[in-house]
């Protein structure tokens, strides 16, 4: 069975794991109510998408 010759340092381990992180969702202002919403999704505050009301607003 293969055993590492020496201990992997903290720096080497953290460099290898540099891509493992959370990503921020792409937020864009709604053209109808100017509130931030996820891109290509119906606005949760006003219910508009592509200039048309798709869902009834909760407000």
30: CB partners within 8 A, 6+ apart: 36, 37, 43, 45, 46, 48
Digit-coded pLDDT (tens) for 7-36: 999 999 889 888 888 888 889 999 999 999
Number of neighbours of residue 46 by Cβ within 10 angstroms: 18
The reported pLDDT for the residue numbered 21 is 86
The reported pLDDT for the residue numbered 20 is 84
pTM of the model: 0.56
Residue 59 has pLDDT above 80, yes or no: no
């Amino acid at each position: 069975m293969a055993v590492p010759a020496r201990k992997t340092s903290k720096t080497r381990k953290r460099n290898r794991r540099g891509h493992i992180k959370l990503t921020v969702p792409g937020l864009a202002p709604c053209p109808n109510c100017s509130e931030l919403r996820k891109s290509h999704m119906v606005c949760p505050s006003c219910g508009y998408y592509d200039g048309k009301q798709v869902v009834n607003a909760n407000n």
